[in-house]
Amino acid sequence: MFFFSFSRLVQSARLFSTSAVPQFPKLKSHSGAKKRWRSVANGTFKRAQAYHSHLNLSKSPARKNRLQQGVYSHGTQTTKLKKLLPYGSP
């Protein structure tokens, strides 16, 4: 009687563990890329333009307006970013 109940307990636990989807190791995102890039719906990435934060007195207003806009990744840069940010890309 004891053996029967114990085997049933083991069998139910075994069925539960094998029915679960195997979890592979989680991939780590590159923390420097996380801080600088955001994913866009079409599969590319977007970042802020450089040279916008300081020494702005010598820059024209048109130049500062251009520097406000984001910059998109392209080509091989996008493939590298998909490896660096595996959960950021759709």
> What pLDDT does residue 88 have?
85
> What span, in angstroms and rounded, lies between the C-alpha atoms of 43 and 19?
33
Q: pLDDT tens digits, the chain, 90 residues: what are they?
A: 555 555 555 555 555 555 556 678 889 999 999 999 999 999 999 999 999 999 999 999 999 999 999 999 998 999 999 999 999 866
Q: Are the C-beta atoms of 37 and 81 separated by less than 8 Å? A: yes
Q: Which domains does the chain have, with CATH numbers?
A: 38-90 (4.10.410)
